[in-house]
């Protein structure tokens, strides 16, 4: 069995795979030895991969190293099924690498754009088997929080489905502005990508991916687990 550990900006996601199939998925605000110990006791894990956009807790690595025969720490130097064309690959987020790898595995020989909507929204592009780079912009809740924190009177607004557009009150004006702005942004990215790459696939993932899915002008493939699926693929790719 494989253990996948994906540490993001606000939480960590853990998944156990057996023969390519997920048998367990969990999320925790903070990666501690307790949850890792429970997973290792409940499942016969023999190898693991760790991806992190922050520092990996040393206690977690020590526990995994003492219990498993193989651990892979994902980086730009890992074996990958595509070439990275990026000026500073050492600064490339491993979650972005994993998302592209997961999409590449599921949709081979296809030009890909992976949109990961979380704390930040990342747009990553793979064409002709080469990772071309990507763009980063503030995520939904980052924009909502910033409007409150960097202005004198705008309230902190929570994300919700129903609001007037154009906004007929300040709360709705903020929601309509932020959500519409993100949808315009995504629509234009897809429209531009589609013009250049007719044989393409656009994948949506991330914590806010479910909220955004179905609201764009274009059909997306919503895959909330594409990053952890990609991590398991990379683990198998490197463990052989």
What percent of the chain stands above pLDDT 70? 100
Q: Give the CA diameter of the chain.
A: 60
**Number of domain units in the chain:** 2
- What per-residue confidence (pLDDT) applies to 214? 94
pLDDT in tens, 176-232: 999 999 999 999 999 999 999 988 999 999 999 999 999 999 989 999 999 999 999
pLDDT beyond 90 at 55: no
pLDDT attached to residue 206: 92
Whether residue 32 sits in one domain with residue 95: no
| Residue-wise pLDDT tens digits, 1-23 | 999 999 987 788 999 999 989 99
State yes or no: pLDDT of 240 exceeds 80: no
> Which candidate in 37, 46, 95, 199 is catalytic?
95
Q: Is 169 exposed, middle or buried (0-12, 13-18, 19+ CB in 10 A)?
A: exposed
95 is catalytic: yes
Together in a domain, 53 and 143: no
* CATH number of the domain bearing residue 156: 3.30.420.40
Residue 91: burial class (beta carbons within 10 Å; 0-12, 13-18, 19+): exposed
The whole model's pTM is what?
0.91
Residues 98 and 201 grouped into a single domain: yes
Q: Which of 23, 50, 73 is the last residue of a domain?
A: 73
**pLDDT score recorded for residue 124:** 98
Q: Mark whether 27 and 116 lie in a shared domain.
A: no
Contact 137, 117 (CB under 8 A): no
- Going by pLDDT thresholds of 50, 70 and 90, the confidence category of residue 53 is confident
- Regarding whether 160 and 112 lie in a shared domain, the answer is yes
The residue from 33, 52, 73 where one domain ends is 73
Measured CA to CA, the distance from residue 203 to residue 205 in angstroms comes to 7
Same domain flag for 97 and 65: no
Which residue range(s) make up the domain with 179? 77-240
Domain end, chosen from 31, 57, 73, is at: 73
123 is written with which tokens? 């747009």
State whether 83 and 181 are in the same domain. yes
Co-location of 215 and 141 in the same domain: yes
**Mean pLDDT value across the chain:** 94
Confidence of residue 131 (pLDDT cuts 50, 70, 90): very high
Clarify whether residues 63 and 100 are in a common domain.
Answer: no
What mean pLDDT do residues 112-126 have? 96
**Do residues 53 and 107 both lie within one domain?**
no
pLDDT, one tens digit per residue, over 143-169 is 999 999 999 999 999 999 999 999 999
The answer to whether residues 4 and 108 belong to one domain is no
pLDDT mean over 167-176: 97
pLDDT of residue 29: 86
Q: If we measure between CA atoms, which residue out of 93, 91, 7, 90 comes closest to residue 52?
A: 7
Tell me, yes or no, whether 67 and 82 share the same domain.
no
């Amino acid at each position: 069995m494989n253990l996948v550990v994906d540490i993001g900006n606000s939480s960590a996601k853990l998944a156990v795979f057996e023969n390519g199939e997920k048998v367990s998925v969990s999320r925790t605000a903070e990666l501690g030895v307790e949850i890792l110990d429970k997973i290792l006791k409940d499942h016969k894990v023999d190898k693991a991969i760790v991806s992190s956009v922050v520092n990996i807790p040393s206690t977690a690595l020590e526990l995994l190293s003492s219990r498993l025969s193989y651990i892979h720490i994902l980086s730009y130097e890992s074996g990958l099924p595509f070439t990275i064309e990026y000026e500073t690959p050492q600064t490339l987020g491993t979650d972005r690498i994993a998302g592209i790898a997961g999409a590449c595995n599921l949709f081979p020989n296809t030009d890909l754009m992976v949109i990961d909507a979380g704390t930040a929204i990342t747009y990553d592009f793979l064409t002709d088997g080469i990772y071309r780079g990507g763009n980063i912009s503030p995520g939904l809740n980052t924009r909502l929080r910033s409007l409150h924190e960097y202005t004198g009177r705008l309230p902190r607004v929570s994300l919700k489905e129903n609001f007037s557009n154009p906004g007929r009150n300040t709360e709705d004006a903020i929601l309509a502005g932020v959500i519409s702005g993100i949808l315009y942004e995504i629509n234009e990215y897809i429209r531009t990508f589609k013009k250049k790459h007719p044989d393409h696939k656009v994948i949506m993932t991330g914590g806010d991916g479910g909220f955004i899915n179905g609201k764009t002008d274009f059909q997306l493939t919503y895959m909330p687990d594409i990053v952890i699926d990609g991590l398991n693929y990379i683990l198998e790719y490197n463990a052989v």
